[in-house]
Amino acid sequence: MATATTSRRTLAGAVAAAVAASALLATIAARSGATAQPSLTVHVPPPANDRIYGSPLARGRPIVVIDAGHGGRDPGAKGVSGDIAEKDLTLTLARELRDDLVKRGRVRVAMTRDDDRYLTLEERAAVARRLNAAMFVSLHMDSAPNGLARGASVYSLSDIASDAEAAHFAAAQNAGTVTDAPGGPVQAILSDLAMRSQMSASADLASRLVNKAVGRFELRPQPHRFAAFHVLRRAATPAVLFEAGYISNADDEVLLRDAWHRSAIALALAQAIEADVAARSRH
Ligand SMILES: [Zn+2]
């Protein structure tokens, strides 16, 4: 009984405090001449933006979505020097690639993020679907416990991983996402057919990228790998995940922080993207 009385009193006290607080807020609002609700206004930016970048020459050209990996409260991997995060390098490279592609004028470009914000994988993929994008390119920097591991690699969408490391990597990337296809058996068959063609087009894009990179910057052994990445599948367009190098390796980190080295990477990516768009427009 004593407990009940106490909690009733506590409740009554809380109600009184709340009434007093709202009266105070109403007074403040009245004094400041505000007519709207006297509450804090928190500006929430849209999760991803659909802005399209392109030169006048590129009007009507295919749209390539560039996805700077990580962002906001998700820093990604940490550089071995300790003073740079993957999310910063992915954004820098994404902006450089965008600017290159816009200058070259053969495609239009959209970015899943152009600032330091957190996006879910679904929000990233949804940009490509909304814009009916011709391609989705996700940019990342690798990291490994072995500090000697270095070089770039590219992953394309597959239902079977090329190796255990790729499977593990995709599972880590996909954490927290739902991977079931919606709808019944017919829809499952249709989406399976669409998925086969998406996987084969993604593999073509990845091999073009490897070809353009050879001799320009270091690649991992077997640089083209396959895995079931949620973000690539949900983009519903040819999609690859490019790992520009290892920020857990001291030499690679220096290179990835170097604008000249990144410009070589961006050029190879731009040429592969343009070659892929050109090849598919001939079919
Ligand atoms: Zn990453």
Q: Is the pLDDT of residue 28 over 70?
A: no
Are residues 154 and 268 located together in one domain of the fold? yes
Counting beta carbons within 10 angstroms of the beta carbon of residue 47, is it exposed (0 to 12), middle (13 to 18) or buried (19 or more)? middle
Rounded to whole angstroms, the Cα distance separating 128 from 235 reads 6
Are residues 94 and 162 located together in one domain of the fold? yes
Residue 255 alpha carbon to ligand 1 centre in Å: 17
Residue 179 alpha carbon to ligand 1 centre in Å: 19
Residue 274 alpha carbon to ligand 1 centre in Å: 24
Are residues 121 and 163 located together in one domain of the fold? yes
The CATH number linked to 174 is: 3.40.630.40
Residue 264 alpha carbon to ligand 1 centre in Å: 20
Are residues 169 and 272 located together in one domain of the fold? yes
Task: Please give the pLDDT value at position 237.
Answer: 94
Are residues 7 and 76 located together in one domain of the fold? no
194 lies in a domain?
yes
Are residues 37 and 93 located together in one domain of the fold? no
Q: How many domains does the chain have?
A: 2
Are residues 99 and 34 located together in one domain of the fold? no
Residue 94 alpha carbon to ligand 1 centre in Å: 13
Domain that holds residue 1: 1-42
Residues contacting 269, CB < 8 A, separation 6+: 97, 137, 209, 212, 242
219 lies in a domain?
yes
The pair of structure tokens assigned to 189 is: 């068959």
Residue 110 alpha carbon to ligand 1 centre in Å: 19
35 lies in a domain?
yes
Are residues 24 and 89 located together in one domain of the fold? no
Residue 87 alpha carbon to ligand 1 centre in Å: 8
Per residue in 157-183, pLDDT tens? 888 888 888 998 899 888 877 655 555
149 lies in a domain?
yes
Task: Please give the pLDDT value at position 158.
Answer: 87
Are residues 112 and 172 located together in one domain of the fold? yes
Task: Please give the pLDDT value at position 253.
Answer: 98
257 lies in a domain?
yes
47 lies in a domain?
no
Are residues 126 and 27 located together in one domain of the fold? no
The answer to which of 4-8, 52-56, 160-164, 194-198 has the lowest mean pLDDT is 4-8
Are residues 270 and 173 located together in one domain of the fold? yes
Task: Please give the pLDDT value at position 14.
Answer: 46
269 lies in a domain?
yes
The pair of structure tokens assigned to 86 is: 């993957």
The pair of structure tokens assigned to 50 is: 């659909």
Predicted confidence band of residue 30 (pLDDT cuts 50, 70, 90):
very low
Are residues 110 and 180 located together in one domain of the fold? yes
| Three-state secondary structure call for residue 223 | strand
Average pLDDT over residues 95-117: 97
Which conformational region is residue 260 in: left (phi greater than 0), alpha (psi within -120 to 50 degrees), or beta?
A: alpha
254 lies in a domain?
yes
Q: Is the pLDDT of residue 12 over 80?
A: no
